[in-house]
Amino acid sequence: MQISIILPLYNGAAFIAETLASLAAQTLQDAELIVVNDGSTDNAPQLVEEICRKSPAPILQSLRLLTQTNQGVAAARNTGIAAARAAWIALLDQDDLWRPHKLACQWQAVGATPQAVWHYSAFTRFYASGREVHKINGSTDRAETLRRLVAGELFIPPAAALVRTEVCRAVGGFDSTIIPSDDWDFFLKLAEQYDVAYTPSCLVRFRSHPTSTGKRQRRRIFEMQEQVLQRHAPRVAAVVPARLVQHRFANIYWHLGREAAAEGDKAAARAWFRRALSRHPTRIKLWHSLLTSIITRA
């Protein structure tokens, strides 16, 4: 067994059967499955146990179901990382799906690049409407991966990653204090320190739905992004051009301004737009937002 699959579970009954089916369909089955029940109040844990018990798939038969009080997805991932027995960790969220050759393809990729201690793949974002968007914008170069992560040009879903267990632990895993930007922080820590491999095939299907974190916590997302960028800006200075860091700060502040405006707090919106302009004073979009907020002042 070379891979531990870490799957946090919190009230995931709606999608968990489909997610487990994507594990049962993996062409590489030499892996253990660690499901961390993060205080679910629905029947998702029972569903997991029933599906895994009845499945002939070795991955599902290997189930280890851990239970903890609700602490959030970052803490659940960390519990799984601490319990992992294999040398590599594959992360998977309860509503995402893997293509059948996902693990096999990544295992081949890390075998072909022994200097790389983590890997990520392209992915497909899909919607209930049937719409699909393919995200194929990664890089095999560590510095370029880091640059794109900082600039906001690259998003890596945890489900697309395969990381050495010792490396997951060395970087401290996922930080619960900055949810829902803990995954961005995690991949920045990896890209700052370790060589990477990348596969431009869409090996993961990343679900976007109305109850997802991104839909429910927009303001907090940008507040936490600001904290993450403040944390990492000094660390990436030697690799990432300062203008890209300033541009990302400006974008975050602009989004916070829009969120404040949507909440009816025009004074706060103007303050955020001014902060955005302090980072990127020549950007027309920022000036337009500030001037509009002044003209429409209540």
pLDDT at 256 over 80: yes
Structural domain contains residue 46: yes
Give the model's pLDDT for residue 211: 58
Residues 151 and 206 in one domain: yes
CATH value at residue 31: 3.90.550.10
Closest to 204 measured CA to CA, from 58, 73, 103? 103
Residues 246 and 212 in one domain: no
- Domains: count for the chain: 2
Q: What pLDDT, in 10s, does the model give residues 150-186?
A: 999 999 999 999 999 999 999 999 999 999 999 999 9
Residues 29 and 142 in one domain: yes
Structural domain contains residue 36: yes
Question: Can you tell me whether residue 282 is helix, strand or coil?
Answer: coil
Structural domain contains residue 185: yes
Residues 55 and 100 in one domain: yes
In the chain, pLDDT over 90 holds for what percent of residues?
92
Give the model's pLDDT for residue 293: 86
pLDDT at 147 over 70: yes
Give the model's pLDDT for residue 298: 52
Structural domain contains residue 224: no
Give the model's pLDDT for residue 212: 55
pLDDT at 218 over 70: yes
Number of H helices, E strands in the chain: 13, 9
Residues 164 and 110 in one domain: yes
Residues 210 and 260 in one domain: no
Mean pLDDT of 24-49: 98
Q: What confidence category does residue 215 fall into, taking pLDDT thresholds of 50, 70 and 90? A: very low
Residues 205 and 254 in one domain: no
Mean pLDDT, the chain, integer: 95
Residues 115 and 192 in one domain: yes
Is the separation of the CB atoms in 183 and 276 below 8 Å? no
Give the model's pLDDT for residue 92: 98
Structural domain contains residue 229: no
* Structural domain harbouring 151: 3-216
Q: What pLDDT, in 10s, does the model give residues 127-145?
A: 988 999 999 999 999 999 9
pTM: 0.94
Q: What are phi and psi of 76, to 5 degrees?
A: -65, -40
